[in-house]
Chain A
Amino acid sequence: MSHLLLVAGREVRAQVRTRAFVIGLVISVLVVGGIAFAPRFLGGPDSYTLGRVQVQELPLKALAPPDAEITWRAYDDEAAARAAMLDGELDAVLVPGNRVLTDGEIDDELGLLLQSANREAQIGASGVTITPLTMESVGADTRYQGARRGIATVVVLVLFLMIFSSVMMVAMGVVEEKGSRIVEILLSSIRPWQLLGGKILGLGAVGLINMVAIVAAGLTGALLSGVIADFPPGTTGIVLGVVAWFILGYAFFAAFAGALASLVSRQEEVGNVLQPMTLLVMLSYGVAFYDSVQPGSTVARVLSLVPPFSSMVMPVRTAAAEVPLWEVALSAGLMLAAVAGVLAVGAKVYERAVLRTGARVRLAEVLRGNKP
């Protein structure tokens, strides 16, 4: 066990100290934090400054969203108001004769607001009172559908990038040790499973550091921009779930990649030998992405239970919509079993192949158990 941790510790130190790691971390934190904070710039609370020339203010406040700011300025003549508007000080000017002057086409929302307010004011003046409609949903709670889809889209991207990049590190590390024959010295002091396991553990910890930093950046951005108010209840659970699924997915693909990488001795061959693993990751990503755009398909529902697809599809499903707890539990159980299986087989393949340097070792030969 202590050897496993020694190997893992070396992997963490070797990665964390590189410039690539630090730059990558800073960039992903800024990007994810920025995306979460962006709505503040894009949407933000509305604020309008309006001019009026010898007419009454319209009752806009009552009709506008609660956080909208509306300022009226009175002008004595149209020319002054017009000049102020063309200087950009005013969004629109209300002038006698039920006319609104704007600089170019009017903002859609402001236009609707002015029209409604005008209608209300004229109807009110004629003495008729209007009872507004009350909206009530009797179907599923879809209030958070938009937010959920947004979260799911981010989840699928983050999971894919994090799992794939961490797994590639494992594969490249295995080939580095095999190609430089350092593995011959290592394996005269520790067992193969300790070396592979330590590498998976250490690089997984590095991936987790990235993951946690990204999640924290996203949540901080959302908190600062106020977007967090729009998050559905249970977002914390979704986020924790994503981290857990990252660990499961990473463990599966890392063991798979480590075993495949042990078959070759040169970095140039890594891409080729990893193809089966890459294909699986891509498929998982594809289905998960489809589900984030178009939630509720049967394919996604089935594959969210089948390992290793479930590692990416299930967290996206849970983010995009409500998923029965038993399905999540079943999916996690199956994935855990698959992880245990691929770790066992992967360690065996690694043990048999990693000392056979030179030409690419055939997987079938290794699985049959031919000794070097």
Chain B
Amino acid sequence: MISDMLDIRELRKTFGAGKVALDGVSFAVRPGEMFGFVGANGAGKTTTMRIVMGVLGADSGEVTWQGRSLGFAERRGFGYMPEERGLYQKMKVGEQVDYFGRLHGLSPAAAAKAVDELLVRLGLTERRGDAVEALSLGNQQRVQLAVALVHDPEVLVLDEPFSGLDPLAVDALAEVLQERARGGVPVIFSSHQLELVERLCDSIGIISAGRMVASGTVDELRAAEGERLRVVVREAKPGWADGLPGELTVAGDREILVVRGGDDQAILRAALEAGRVEHFGAERPSITEIFKEAVS
């Protein structure tokens, strides 16, 4: 069966002076999937995305889209937002987006139509005739996204699209991306805002020091991490949790025990004996916790 995915396989890249940037990075993004790419600074996110876009060559490994390895013709159908934003500062917003549409092969009429729609969608209609340099950072970022979207790309590769945006702009951008994903486009984006990734993404890949340490759907990652039991006891007798598994933290007169596995009934009895139980329940780990766990 021919894969309909964007498949990244065993990418390796070493820069000069023997610095290993990527050490066998593999993951796949399905059509219509929002893939959040997270990792510490310098972990290899940007390098991976640059290789996907052909801006950088890999030492080995392969990227395929719908079963075909990527060449210039395939990548022309991709939309890309590089980490360091690039726009012509003195060019007007409308003309700039139109220009990139034309470069991607749109006819003048199709480009004009796409520009109209996008500027409305991104709330830039009133800035259409302004030079990019006259715009706020947030608005420049919207223009950058418009440039990535103008040719109705088959695949979206976005490096830190949300960095530096206010919450309203984040929502506006997120909505546009989700809309594209619903239209069947695989969307890869990197971000340090883990709550945002958790809210938007179907799948997440965590990269650390050039290796993928975890990847899968949000549910899969949570399942892999396992459910945990969280118990909050108020005014507990000191030493009540000795002998019980898990981690105990103290916050004021509350003691919080987080346990993975173990006999929950025995723990409950111990807690009841120790003091006033305020909270007792199973808890799913947040992406932030999974991330910290994965990269530690």
| Cβ-neighbour of A186 out of B85, B90, B103 (below 8 A) | B103
State whether the Cβ of A184 lies closer than 8 Å to any Cβ in chain B: yes
State whether the Cβ of A188 lies closer than 8 Å to any Cβ in chain B: yes
Contact with B along A1-20 (1 / 0, CB 8 A): 00100110010001000100
B86→A185 contact, CB < 8 A = yes
Bound Cα distance from A191 to B82, whole angstroms: 18
Complex interface: chain A residues within 8 A of B282 (CB):
none
Bound Cα distance from A26 to B291, whole angstroms: 62
State whether the Cβ of A336 lies closer than 8 Å to any Cβ in chain B: no
* Minimal beta-carbon separation of B160 from chain A (angstroms): 13
Bound Cα distance from A182 to B132, whole angstroms: 13
Stretch at the interface among B53-61, B163-171, B262-270: B53-61
| Cβ-neighbour of A180 out of B83, B89, B104, B147 (below 8 A) | B89
Bound Cα distance from A371 to B57, whole angstroms: 7
* Minimal beta-carbon separation of B200 from chain A (angstroms): 23
State whether the Cβ of B9 lies closer than 8 Å to any Cβ in chain A: no
| Cβ-neighbour of A184 out of B76, B86, B99, B100 (below 8 A) | B86
Contact with A along B136-155 (1 / 0, CB 8 A): 00000000000110010000
Bound Cα distance from A326 to B146, whole angstroms: 56
* Range, interface on chain B: 20 to 34
Bound Cα distance from A188 to B73, whole angstroms: 9
Residue of A nearest to B81 (CB): A185
State whether the Cβ of B5 lies closer than 8 Å to any Cβ in chain A: no
Complex interface: chain A residues within 8 A of B82 (CB):
181, 184-185
B87→A184 contact, CB < 8 A = no
* Minimal beta-carbon separation of B21 from chain A (angstroms): 12
B80→A184 contact, CB < 8 A = yes
State whether the Cβ of B65 lies closer than 8 Å to any Cβ in chain A: no
B57→A10 contact, CB < 8 A = no
B147→A185 contact, CB < 8 A = yes
State whether the Cβ of A187 lies closer than 8 Å to any Cβ in chain B: yes
B57→A180 contact, CB < 8 A = no
* Minimal beta-carbon separation of B18 from chain A (angstroms): 15
* Minimal beta-carbon separation of A84 from chain B (angstroms): 64
Bound Cα distance from A180 to B140, whole angstroms: 13
Complex interface: chain B residues within 8 A of A191 (CB):
72
A182→B87 contact, CB < 8 A = yes
Bound Cα distance from A191 to B56, whole angstroms: 15
Interface size (A, Cβ < 8 Å)?
Answer: 23
Contact with A along B61-88 (1 / 0, CB 8 A): 0000000000010011010101111111
A187→B89 contact, CB < 8 A = no
Bound Cα distance from A187 to B76, whole angstroms: 9
A14→B90 contact, CB < 8 A = yes
| Cβ-neighbour of A189 out of B76, B88, B90 (below 8 A) | B76
| Cβ-neighbour of B88 out of A6, A182, A187, A188 (below 8 A) | A182
B103→A182 contact, CB < 8 A = no
State whether the Cβ of A372 lies closer than 8 Å to any Cβ in chain B: yes
Complex interface: chain A residues within 8 A of B50 (CB):
184
* Minimal beta-carbon separation of A309 from chain B (angstroms): 36
State whether the Cβ of A183 lies closer than 8 Å to any Cβ in chain B: yes
| Cβ-neighbour of A6 out of B55, B75, B103 (below 8 A) | B103
Contact with A along B82-123 (1 / 0, CB 8 A): 111111111100000001101111000000000000000000
Bound Cα distance from A180 to B84, whole angstroms: 7
Contact with B along A178-204 (1 / 0, CB 8 A): 001111111111110000000000000
Q: Given A181-B82, A185-B80, A185-B86, A3 and B103 touching (CB < 8 A)?
A: yes
* Minimal beta-carbon separation of B130 from chain A (angstroms): 14
| Cβ-neighbour of A188 out of B75, B87, B99, B105 (below 8 A) | B75
B76→A6 contact, CB < 8 A = no
Residue of A nearest to B147 (CB): A185
Residue of A nearest to B90 (CB): A14
* Minimal beta-carbon separation of A4 from chain B (angstroms): 11
Complex interface: chain A residues within 8 A of B103 (CB):
3, 6-7, 186, 189-190
Bound Cα distance from A186 to B88, whole angstroms: 11
State whether the Cβ of A306 lies closer than 8 Å to any Cβ in chain B: no
Bound Cα distance from A366 to B54, whole angstroms: 18
A372→B86 contact, CB < 8 A = no
State whether the Cβ of A355 lies closer than 8 Å to any Cβ in chain B: yes
Residue of B nearest to A371 (CB): B57
Complex interface: chain A residues within 8 A of B104 (CB):
189
Residue of A nearest to B57 (CB): A371
A184→B90 contact, CB < 8 A = no
Residue of A nearest to B148 (CB): A185
A188→B54 contact, CB < 8 A = yes
Complex interface: chain B residues within 8 A of A7 (CB):
103
* Minimal beta-carbon separation of A293 from chain B (angstroms): 41
Complex interface: chain A residues within 8 A of B54 (CB):
187-188
Q: Given A14-B91, A181-B86, A189 and B56 touching (CB < 8 A)?
A: no
Complex interface: chain B residues within 8 A of A176 (CB):
88
Bound Cα distance from A6 to B148, whole angstroms: 18
* Minimal beta-carbon separation of B163 from chain A (angstroms): 15
B53→A189 contact, CB < 8 A = no
Complex interface: chain A residues within 8 A of B78 (CB):
188
Complex interface: chain B residues within 8 A of A183 (CB):
86
* Minimal beta-carbon separation of A9 from chain B (angstroms): 9
Bound Cα distance from A10 to B86, whole angstroms: 16
B56→A185 contact, CB < 8 A = no
Complex interface: chain B residues within 8 A of A190 (CB):
103
Q: Which 4 A-B pairs have the closest CB atoms?
A: A182-B86, A181-B86, A180-B86, A181-B84
Known interface pairs A10-B91, A18-B90, A181-B84; 18 further A-B residue pairs with C-beta atoms within 8 A, sorted by A's residue number: A3-B103, A6-B102, A7-B103, A14-B88, A180-B86, A180-B87, A181-B86, A184-B53, A184-B82, A185-B86, A185-B100, A187-B54, A188-B54, A188-B75, A188-B78, A189-B103, A189-B105, A355-B56
Q: Mind listing 29 A-B residue pairs with CB under 8 Å?
A: A6-B99, A6-B103, A7-B103, A10-B91, A10-B99, A14-B91, A177-B86, A180-B84, A180-B85, A180-B87, A180-B88, A180-B89, A182-B88, A183-B86, A184-B50, A184-B82, A184-B86, A185-B80, A185-B82, A185-B100, A187-B55, A188-B54, A188-B76, A189-B76, A189-B100, A190-B103, A355-B56, A372-B56, A372-B57
